[in-house]
């Protein structure tokens, strides 16, 4: 008998300098689908997220808004919680790093472990800093005098900070990534990190002056003139949310977990693939086992975001199309690991043609036929070809979770829906019901279709939980017609 060890799954914690946008919704539903899938297969799992409160971006946003950082992160942080709830994302824990009593002690404990290993030292530094990324850039990364991700001008900074000796861990990090002890998906992101390591890993600053941080953040242990660098602070959330350093949750879901997965965007890959492993190695703690790196949502080829003025409000889309329609579009029509342009017209088309036209119509037709002809559904002697498509769909969904290709999983499910629709048309159960002596053929046909719908509901459960529950409710204890699964959208 195989003993399954616990699994820890986390999405990144975003800055809360503005209201959440559609890019945040994408990562939330991706990580929720993965967590739901694993739970559905009996895995003991801890799924967490939160907000990254202690950043200079938040300080500056508060100043621009005429408020305090604490008031700003409390207001916007609540919006990120509401977004998770609106998207039907079920976390086991959600941490706000500025006001959760677990966080600062965990950051201090992690810092002290690194210091005890001889990996924390103080020196003066001068370099070009991107506030959007919250890190110093190498000359080779600067494009036309700017960060390639953000449009704000870079800032020339010179100050004395505490540094982490990342260079000491270059070879252990390289070996972990090359050997897939730290798996990075997709493979092109792995190659990107390996290419960066080939250029040599530099030590990096893990503090900022209290003056520049305007006193916002967690003080460096033993040095009140410095504030812990936001990325050291933020990455520690994966431990603080488990009660590090002294809790049973931490022991169970980090130290003893068989798998530790981070679902992140490609724009923060370096911090998770290089900084985070270095810190953990210094502290003598296990590394993540997998980084699953999704693409970004773009608008006309440009990353969406408040700072670029092209953010898309997910709450508006949920109100107009429904939560599962938005989840479907994000998971099925946006490539999991490549950048994808958002177009609301395509969301509307996906709703009408695929959810309502294919899935909703199939459920309505089958339930109406079973109810009208009072057919007793059986679970044996079903159509072999339809059962084969269902089995293939189950296999492909499992592979899509493993490969972090969630769009492939949805494609497989809707290929099953398409096969069932073709089977309805070719079998013509309404004609079978008219001819005497075809009762057995009618039972065979409709039972095969109900089986396909039951498999569809089970496979959809991690991706579209409300839709899956509604399909199951329509089929049990026996198929019955209800209101349209996806009502016609207003013009």
Dihedral sign from CA coordinates of 269, 274, 279, 285: positive
For the chain, what are the domain ranges? 7-294, 344-475
Catalytic residue set: 21, 24, 130, 133, 147, 150, 303, 306
How is domain 7-294 classified at the CATH fold level? Rossmann fold (3.40.50)
Euclidean distance between CA atoms 471 and 467, whole angstroms: 6
pTM above 0.85, yes or no: yes
- Count the residues in the chain: 491
Instruction: State pLDDT tens for residues 70-102.
Output: 999 999 999 999 999 999 999 999 999 999 999
Whether the CB-CB separation of 414 and 361 falls below 8 Å is answered with no
What pLDDT, on the 0 to 100 scale, is given for residue 300? 79
Supply the pLDDT for residue 1.
42
Q: Is 7-294's fold the same as 344-475's?
A: no
Low-confidence ranges of the chain (pLDDT < 70): 1-3, 130-146, 148-152, 306-309
- In 258-391, the DSSP E strands lie at 259-265, 290-294, 297-299, 302-303, 340-341
- Residue 186: asked if its preceding bond is cis (omega within 30°), the reply is yes
pLDDT at 148: 64
**Cα–Cα distance between 109 and 107 in angstroms, integer?**
5
Residue by residue, DSSP assigns 233-247 as HHHTHHHHTTTTTS-
Q: Which residue has the tokens 């950082």?
A: 69
Q: What is the pLDDT of residue 308?
A: 62
The domain made up of 344-475 has a fold known as Isoleucyl-tRNA Synthetase; Domain 1 (1.10.730)
DSSP string, 379-411: SSS--HHHHHHHHHHHHHHHHHHHHT-HHHHHH
């Amino acid at each position: 008998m195989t003993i399954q060890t616990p699994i820890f799954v986390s999405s990144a914690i975003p800055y809360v300098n503005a209201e959440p946008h559609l890019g945040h919704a994408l990562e939330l539903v991706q990580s929720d689908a993965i967590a739901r899938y694993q739970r559905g297969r009996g895995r003991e799992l801890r799924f967490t997220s939160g907000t990254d409160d202690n950043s200079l971006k938040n300080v500056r946003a508060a100043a621009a808004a005429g408020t305090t950082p604490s008031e700003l992160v409390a207001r916007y942080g609540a919006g990120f919680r509401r977004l998770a709830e609106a998207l039907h994302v079920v976390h086991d824990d959600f941490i706000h790093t500025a006001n959760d009593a677990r966080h600062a002690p965990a950051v201090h404990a992690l810092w002290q472990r690194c210091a005890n290993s001889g990996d924390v030292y103080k020196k003066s530094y001068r370099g070009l800093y991107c506030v959007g990324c919250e890190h110093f850039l190498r000359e080779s990364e600067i494009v036309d005098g700017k960060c390639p991700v953000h449009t704000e001008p870079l800032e020339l900074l010179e100050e004395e900070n505490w540094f982490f000796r990342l260079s000491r861990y270059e070879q252990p990090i390289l070996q972990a990534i090359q050997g897939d002890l730290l798996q990075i998906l997709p493979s092109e992101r792995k190659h990107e990190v390996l290419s960066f390591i080939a250029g040599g890993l530099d030590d990096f600053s893990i503090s900022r002056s209290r003056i520049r941080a305007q006193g916002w953040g967690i003080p460096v242990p033993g040095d009140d003139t410095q504030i812990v660098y936001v990325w050291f602070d933020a990455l520690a959330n994966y431990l603080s949310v488990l009660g590090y350093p002294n809790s049973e949750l931490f022991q169970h879901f980090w130290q003893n977990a068989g798998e530790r997965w981070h679902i992140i965007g490609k724009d923060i890959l370096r911090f998770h693939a290089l900084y985070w492993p270095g810190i953990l190695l210094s502290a003598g703690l296990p590394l993540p086992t997998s980084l699953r790196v999704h693409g970004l949502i773009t608008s006309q080829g440009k990353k969406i975001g408040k700072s670029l003025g092209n953010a898309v409000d997910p709450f508006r889309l949920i109100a107009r199309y429904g939560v599962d329609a938005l989840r479907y579009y994000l998971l099925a029509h946006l490539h999991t690991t490549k950048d994808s342009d958002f177009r609301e017209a395509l969301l509307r088309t996906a709703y009408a043609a695929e959810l309502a036209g294919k899935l909703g119509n199939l459920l309505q037709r089958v339930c109406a036929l079973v109810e009208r002809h009072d057919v007793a559904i059986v679970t044996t002697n079903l159509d072999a070809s339809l059962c084969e498509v269902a089995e293939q769909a189950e296999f492909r969904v499992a592979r899509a979770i493993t490969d972090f290709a969630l769009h492939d999983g949805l494609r497989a499910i809707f290929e099953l829906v398409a096969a069932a629709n073709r089977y309805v048309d070719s079998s013509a159960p309404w004609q079978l019901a008219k001819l005497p002596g075809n009762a057995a053929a009618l039972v065979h046909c409709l039972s095969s279709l109900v089986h396909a719908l039951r498999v569809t509901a089970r496979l959809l459960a991690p991706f579209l939980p409300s839709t899956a529950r509604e399909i199951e409710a329509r089929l049990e204890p026996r198929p019955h017609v209800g209101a349209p699964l996806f009502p016609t959208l207003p013009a």
